[in-house]
Amino acid sequence: MKLRIAAPLVAIALTTAACGGGGGTSAQPSGDGKSFEFWSFTGIDQKKSVDRYQKENPGVQVKLTEVGGSTETAQALTTALAGGKVPDLVLIQGDDLPKFVQQPQNFHDLRQFGADKIKGDYLDWVISQSTAKGGEIIGIPTDVGGMAVAYRTDLFKEAGLPTDREEVGKLWPTWDAFIETGRKYTAATGKAFVDNAATSVFYQAVNQGPMKYYDPSGNVVYSTSPQVKTAFDLAIKAAQAGITAKQSSFSDGWSAGLGKGQFAVVSAPAWLLGQIERNAPDTKGKWDIAAIPGGAGNWGGSYLAIPKGAKNPKAAWDYITKTQSPQSQLEHFVDSGSLPTTPSVYKDPKLTGHKDSFFSDAPTGTIYTNSLLGLKPFHVGTDSAAIGQEFLNALENVEQGKGDAAKAWDAALANIKTAIGK
């Protein structure tokens, strides 16, 4: 199974999605100016947020369609914008956003509803990603993906490793130290240490520096960026060290492995904690959270946008303002773990004092905001998602024994050039 970033796949055809098909929480929007159609991607329990909104706003109907993974949702939106029936509201994953920002005429400029008055509520580098060259704001951020590592305390104990989160974090101040810890774990237990090298090593390390696939001016530099090459080489090293379970993130095997203890560690941005809990409910109290090697970074984050052809744009905007205000994002974090994009709540006791009982009462609010505040933001370009996918595919091929480690970098570069034309 090819790895897809940020969400698992479901078998929903793009043509069906573009026609507004799929499951929903209620009947078709009534056209009363309050109800609306909402496209989201799977794996993030969007239904919970929608149900809560409907409960707090009696008489409003939201037809929620979970189109598929984040990539499938973006593809369905592209198809719809080209002539299909667009939703009133759509969730767009951060790496997919730039290509839509380049075509702001396809979306409502949210300043017409008051976005210019609230943009200061959000992290500057986050809101800037949804702002077009002409100043149009096409999306409001819902969350960011501060980084950390989730680990099984019971399995660490069996391997003779420390279990206290502070001591565990000290085991891997760097990615090389992380891989060495994996060697020790595997030597002691004969079992895999980490789920895979592609996302738990490469996709963490590549998201930790100031220049990823594009330079600050928007020029493509994926083939020359030291940050990218270093992250790729680290992932190759992890794959060849024999410490991975070779389970592609969000695959069926990965989901099952979380509960069966097939690996002791998974790199976990804030939004991924919910997936661990949903896929391995019987492991409550066996997980804890430690700092990510390198200390800072961001993987993920999404935006809510209103397509130009939306029939109920004001209703969609009401949903945005009520669910993405600083207080609402704080409540959503406490409820589901999505890390707020609103820095005004980062010192709120509800966040700093929050402890996640599933993860051994780890202070997730503090852990994740600390990783985010240490980040040096990088430019996200129009082809960031496609570039990242080809690097991940190349690494997965090596890990699965289908690719030559010595040729993997060049293979990835060639596939990227084919995919994006540069």
Q: What are the start-end ranges of the E strands in 284-370? A: 287-290, 298-305
Q: Do 278 and 140 share a structural domain? A: no
Q: Do 129 and 67 share a structural domain? A: yes
Instruction: Going residue by residue through the chain, which has 422 residues, state the pLDDT in tens, using 9 for 90 and above.
Output: 233 443 333 323 333 333 333 334 433 444 567 899 999 998 788 998 999 999 999 999 999 999 998 889 999 999 999 987 999 999 999 999 999 999 999 999 999 999 999 999 999 999 999 999 999 999 999 999 999 999 999 999 999 999 999 999 999 999 999 999 999 999 999 999 999 999 999 999 999 988 999 999 999 999 999 999 999 999 999 999 999 999 999 899 999 999 999 999 999 999 999 899 999 999 999 999 999 999 898 998 999 999 999 999 999 999 999 999 999 999 999 988 889 999 999 999 999 999 999 999 999 999 999 998 878 889 999 999 999 999 999 999 999 999 999 999 999 999 999 999 98
We report the CATH number of the domain holding residue 274 as 3.40.190.10
Q: What are the beta bridge partners of residue 63?
A: 37
Q: What is the pLDDT of residue 31?
A: 55
CA-wise closest residue to 106 among 310, 316, 282, 257? 310
Q: Do 152 and 138 share a structural domain? A: no
Q: What is the pLDDT of residue 279?
A: 94
pTM of the model: 0.88
Number of domains in the chain: 2
Q: Are strands 265-267 and 89-93 parallel, antiparallel or unpaired?
A: unpaired
Q: Do 124 and 170 share a structural domain? A: no
Q: Do 279 and 233 share a structural domain? A: yes
Residue 269 lies in a domain: yes
Q: Do 272 and 171 share a structural domain? A: yes
Q: Do 262 and 158 share a structural domain? A: yes
Residue 358 lies in a domain: no
Instruction: Count CA within 13 A, CB hemisphere, residue 257.
Output: 23
Q: Do 283 and 163 share a structural domain? A: yes
Q: What is the pLDDT of residue 240?
A: 97
How far apart (Å, rounded) are the C-alpha atoms in residues 422 and 417?
5
Q: Do 175 and 32 share a structural domain? A: no
Two structure tokens written together for 281: 């409910």
CA-wise closest residue to 342 among 138, 48, 49, 119? 119
Q: What are the beta bridge partners of residue 91?
A: 304
Residue 61: give the domain boundaries.
Answer: 14-144+300-352
Two structure tokens written together for 292: 């990510």
Residue 224 lies in a domain: yes
Q: Do 293 and 184 share a structural domain? A: yes
Q: Do 163 and 136 share a structural domain? A: no
Q: Do 236 and 109 share a structural domain? A: no
Q: What are the beta bridge partners of residue 220?
A: 214
Q: What is the pLDDT of residue 377?
A: 85
Cβ–Cβ < 8 Å for 123, 153: no
